[in-house]
Structures are given as structure tokens and as C-alpha cells.
């Protein structure tokens, strides 16, 4: 029998663990190269879910993120669904607003809806016939020696799957990374900052944005800070960053209003007194963690990307963007070394660790600068 002329490496099974922003985009990158791609996501399919749990409602997409989307033909679509933000709009205590541009004229970052972006990327991944999305699959354990992964489903059943390459895109509390921690010469650090964050909404007024939409609005107040990013439904999502002990001091609706009157008076009519009193207690403030580690790979079987490799505090707006850039960098190294994982993985660690650590440091620097 004649031997197949197909490049055998293209048939390798790549398991992407985590179908969040970076996992879904990465699935497109691997599928485009012809690998047999399987995505495993612990949540149900967010495209069918009534409520999508997760972190921030919207995010700032910048140049490095857009470049990665461009590689898989998604840039125009996502950009058309985002809102350009040309400048930061600084709100002083007196209510004065002063713009500070992000760059030269015409340059901007985009406010994009996290859940919509994730849905679009999952749909894009699914259009490749060599990709299968597996929801309700929570990675419980895996073996570095064999590449064998164990998943549990919500009905308690277990499934075991083997892959040639496991790509850990399962976020800041990565289950994939746990195996790395058991190994010698793996460096790891995790820092929780004293601040938490809470999201509030500024609704439209008469069907229109209640503030200028093409800005990232910022209320800097020493140890506190609030930001607001526009959404396509004409609302703004505000994120209040504040030390946890300050959040905890406020225990009644009247105290919320008192606090806002003192620090963010111009936002009270925009958010609304009743909404403020209610929404402040809707969910507890969320923690923020910075994770640094190295190496990002084990042998030729596993690699970490996105927050699983480098969760950063959000003050630089680059967590997702850096995770998207991970996908391009890995793709370029696959090109360079002809998909040979035994060379690609160590090279990825060599090239990528310093850059991702730099992003983590810059984010932490911006945190200190803005809030401490
Ligand atoms: P995640 O988004 O965390 O996705 C991980 C996925 O893995 C999830 O779907 C999860 O369900 C799944 N998963 C977890 N465990 C398992 C398991 N055991 N088995 C299977 N699946 C699993 N970044 C920006 O670039 N710009 C911004 O403006 C910005 N703003 C932010 C604001 C806030 C308040 C916060 C907290 C973060 C912000 N970020 C921003 C950072 C950004 O949210 C993250 O960097 C990004 O979500 C990382 O994507 P990811 O896919 O690596 O991880």
C-alpha cells in the first residue's frame, strides 16, 4: 500500500483545556494549522446559557489582541462590535472632565463585550471541521508522562482522553498548572492585592449614552478608583476598585450614598440612588490575583497560555491582550520549527516568559501608581 503523503504531524491531537477567551481563540489557531483540536470547557455552552457567570462584563481590546484576531480572520467582526475609546476621560471631584488621549490622532482601544467575544470565538472555532467543543467537561487531573486527562461532568461521570499536546488555557486557577507545581525547578508566585472590584451600571438616558461614549471614563481618588467603559446597548459598566476593608465598612444603602457623595458625586444621578443602594450589595467585591510562573511547558506534552500562565491585575488592561498574543507567538514558533513540539515548547518558554512577566510587572506598577 502506498504511504499517505499527508504531513503526519498535522493529525496530532491538541487538547485545549478551557474554552474562555484565550482557549477559544487558540482553538482557531490550532485548527487552522490542521491539528485535530478538542476543546474542553467546564461550563455549559455560554451560547445557550441564560446567565453567563464570569469576570468583567466588558474589556479593553488593544493592538496586540487585535493582531491575534486578525490571524484567524476575526478582527473586523470583533472591531465592528466594539466601541472605540480614543482617550481616558478623567473626572475630578468637582465634576470637571479632562481627556487624555491614548495615542496619536485616530488611535484608540476598543470596549468589547466579554461574553459576546467569547461566544464569537467559540463559533469561529466550531466552523473548522477538525475542531470539537466539549462543554461540561471539567479537568480533574492529568498525567504529564502519558498526556492522559481525566474530566468530570456535572452528572458525576468521568471521561479519560489522551492528547499529543495539552494546552492549558484554564485561567488564573488553572488545574493544568497543578501538575507543574509538583515538579522540580518550576518557579511560581501568586499575589493577591488588597483591592477588590465591584461592577455597577450606568443606564442610558432617553435611549442615549448618558456620558460621552468614546472614552474610558476614570474617577481617580487616591486609594480608590472607578472606571466606566461603554457598551453597545448604551449603558456603561462601572468598575469600582477599592481596598476590601473599605468595601466592608459600607453596610447600608445610606452609607453607599454617603460614600458616593463624598468621592463620586457626579455618578449618583447617572447610576441612580435606588440602583446604587441595591446593586452595591448585589455581589460581594471580587479579588484580584497576579500569577507569575516559569517554565510554561512540560517536555513536549503540555504548555500554559493566557491567565493560566500569567494572570495579571487589570490596571494595565492587557491580560486578555497578552493572552491573545501568546497564541500568535506560539503559532509563529510552530511555523519556525515545523510543528515539532519537542523544540517548539522550550522555545515558547524562552521567548514568552520574559514578555509576559514584563506585562505582569507593568500591570502591578500601574496598580501602585493609580491606587496606592
Ligand atoms: P479565563 O477567561 O479565566 O478562561 C478560562 C476558562 O477555563 C473558563 O472558561 C473556565 O470556565 C475554564 N476552566 C477553568 N477551570 C477549568 C477546568 N478545570 N477544566 C475545564 N475548563 C476550565 N484584559 C484585557 O486585555 N483588557 C481589559 O480591559 C481587561 N479588564 C479586566 C477587568 C477585570 C475586572 C478583570 C478581573 C480582568 C480583566 N482583564 C482584562 C483580564 C482578562 O479578563 C483575562 O486576562 C482573560 O479573561 C484571560 O483569558 P483566559 O482564557 O486565559 O482565562
> From edge to edge, which strands make up the β-sheet containing 158-162?
138-142, 148-152, 158-162
Same domain, 163 and 50: yes
Cα–ligand 1 centroid distance for 205 (angstroms) = 31
- Share of residues in the chain with pLDDT > 70 (%): 95
DSSP code at position 266? G
Residue 298 has pLDDT above 60, yes or no: yes
Same domain, 355 and 215: no
**Is the CB of 21 within 6 Å of ligand 1?**
yes
**Is the CB of 321 within 6 Å of ligand 1?**
yes
**Mean pLDDT across 264-273:** 97
CATH of the domain at 107: 3.50.50.60
Give the pLDDT confidence score for residue 372 in this predicted structure: 63
**Is the CB of 138 within 6 Å of ligand 1?**
yes
Nearest CA to ligand 1 atom 9: 20
Give the pLDDT confidence score for residue 371 in this predicted structure: 66
Domain span at residue 266? 196-286
- The two most distant CA atoms of the chain are separated, in Å, by 82
Give the pLDDT confidence score for residue 184 in this predicted structure: 95
Cα–ligand 1 centroid distance for 292 (angstroms) = 15
ipTM computed for the complex = 0.99
Q: What is the pLDDT of residues 167-183, one digit of tens each?
A: 999 999 999 999 999 99
**Is the CB of 64 within 6 Å of ligand 1?**
no
**Virtual torsion, Cα 68, 70, 74, 78, nearest 10 deg:** 80
Q: What is the pLDDT of residues 216-268, one digit of tens each?
A: 999 999 898 999 999 999 999 999 999 999 999 999 999 999 999 999 999 99
Q: Which of 239, 263, 286 is the last residue of a domain?
A: 286
Domain-located, residue 321: yes
Q: Please tell me the distance from the alpha carbon of residue 170 to that of residue 306, in angstroms, as a whole number.
A: 8
Domain-located, residue 102: yes
Nearest CA to ligand 1 atom 41: 319
Domain-located, residue 1: no
* Total domains in the fold of the chain: 2
Give the pLDDT confidence score for residue 55 in this predicted structure: 63
Domain-located, residue 6: no
Q: What is the pLDDT of residues 300-327, one digit of tens each?
A: 999 999 999 999 999 999 999 999 999 9
**Is the CB of 325 within 6 Å of ligand 1?**
no
Same domain, 216 and 141: no
**Mean pLDDT across 195-200:** 96
Q: Which of 10, 120, 109, 69 is nearest to 318 (CA)?
A: 109
**Is the CB of 315 within 6 Å of ligand 1?**
no
Nearest CA to ligand 1 atom 3: 171
The residues that bridge with 152 in the sheet, in sequence order, are 138, 158
Q: What is the pLDDT of residues 21-71, one digit of tens each?
A: 999 999 999 999 999 999 999 999 999 987 766 666 899 999 999 999 999
pTM of the model: 0.95
Q: What is the pLDDT of residues 67-96, one digit of tens each?
A: 999 999 999 999 999 999 999 999 999 999
Atom number of ligand 1 nearest to Cα 169: 52
- C-alpha distances in angstroms, 2 versus 5, 6, 13, 146, 306? 9, 12, 24, 31, 42
At 367, the pLDDT band (50, 70, 90 cuts) reads confident
At 203, the pLDDT band (50, 70, 90 cuts) reads very high
Give the pLDDT confidence score for residue 359 in this predicted structure: 94
Mutate to test the pocket of ligand 1, among 314, 315, 318 (most ligand atoms within 8 A of CB): 314
Same domain, 299 and 250: no
Do residues 277 and 257 touch, judged by C-beta distance below 8 A? yes
Lookup: cell for 209:
449614552
Q: Transcribe 63-118 into DSSP letters.
A: HHHHHHHHHTT-HHHHHHTSEEE-EEEEE-TTS-EEEEESSSTT--EEEEEHHHHH
Give the pLDDT confidence score for residue 111 in this predicted structure: 98
Same domain, 251 and 157: no
Same domain, 254 and 298: no
Lookup: cell for 215:
472614552
Same domain, 201 and 331: no
Give the pLDDT confidence score for residue 52 in this predicted structure: 67
CA 64 and chain centroid, separation: 13
**Is the CB of 306 within 6 Å of ligand 1?**
yes
Amino acid at each position: 500500500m502506498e504511504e499517505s503523503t499527508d504531513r503526519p504531524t498535522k493529525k496530532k491531537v491538541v487538547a485545549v483545556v478551557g474554552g474562555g477567551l484565550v482557549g477559544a481563540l487558540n482553538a482557531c489557531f490550532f485548527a487552522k494549522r490542521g491539528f485535530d483540536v478538542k476543546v474542553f470547557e467546564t461550563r455549559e455552552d455560554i451560547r445557550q446559557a441564560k446567565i453567563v457567570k464570569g469576570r468583567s462584563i466588558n474589556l479593553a481590546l488593544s493592538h496586540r489582541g487585535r493582531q491575534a484576531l486578525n490571524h484567524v480572520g476575526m478582527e473586523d467582526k470583533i472591531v465592528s462590535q466594539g466601541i472605540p475609546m480614543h482617550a481616558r476621560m478623567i473626572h475630578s471631584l468637582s465634576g470637571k472632565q479632562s481627556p487624555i488621549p491614548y495615542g496619536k490622532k485616530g488611535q484608540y482601544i476598543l470596549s468589547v463585550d466579554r461574553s459576546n467575544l467569547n461566544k464569537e470565538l467559540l463559533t469561529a472555532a466550531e466552523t473548522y471541521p477538525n475542531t470539537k467543543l466539549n462543554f461540561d467537561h471539567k479537568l480533574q487531573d492529568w498525567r504529564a508522562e502519558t498526556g492522559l486527562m481525566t474530566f468530570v461532568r456535572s452528572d458525576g461521570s468521568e471521561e479519560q482522553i489522551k492528547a499529543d499536546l495539552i494546552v492549558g488555557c484554564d485561567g488564573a486557577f488553572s488545574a493544568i498548572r497543578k501538575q507543574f507545581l509538583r515538579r522540580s525547578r518550576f518557579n511560581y508566585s501568586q499575589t493577591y492585592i488588597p483591592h477588590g472590584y465591584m461592577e455597577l451600571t450606568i443606564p442610558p438616558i432617553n435611549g442615549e449614552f448618558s456620558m460621552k461614549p468614546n472614552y474610558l471614563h476614570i474617577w481617580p481618588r487616591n486609594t480608590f478608583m472607578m472606571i466606566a467603559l461603554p457598551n453597545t446597548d448604551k449603558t456603561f459598566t462601572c468598575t469600582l476598585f477599592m481596598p476590601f476593608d473599605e468595601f466592608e465598612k459600607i453596610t447600608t444603602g445610606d452609607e453607599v450614598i454617603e460614600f458616593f457623595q463624598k468621592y463620586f458625586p457626579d455618578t449618583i444621578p447617572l447610576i441612580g440612588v435606588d440602583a446604587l443602594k441595591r446593586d452595591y450589595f448585589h455581589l460581594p467585591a471580587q479579588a484580584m490575583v497576579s500569577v507569575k510562573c516559569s517554565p510554561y511547558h512540560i517536555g513536549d506534552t503540555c504548555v500554559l497560555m493566557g491567565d493560566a500562565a500569567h494572570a495579571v491585575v487589570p490596571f494595565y488592561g492587557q491580560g486578555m491582550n497578552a493572552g491573545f498574543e501568546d497564541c500568535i507567538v506560539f503559532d509563529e514558533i510552530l511555523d519556525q520549527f515545523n510543528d515539532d513540539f519537542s523544540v517548539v515548547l522550550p522555545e515558547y518558554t524562552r521567548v514568552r516568559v520574559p514578555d509576559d512577566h514584563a506585562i505582569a510587572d507593568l500591570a502591578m506598577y500601574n496598580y501602585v501608581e493609580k491606587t496606592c
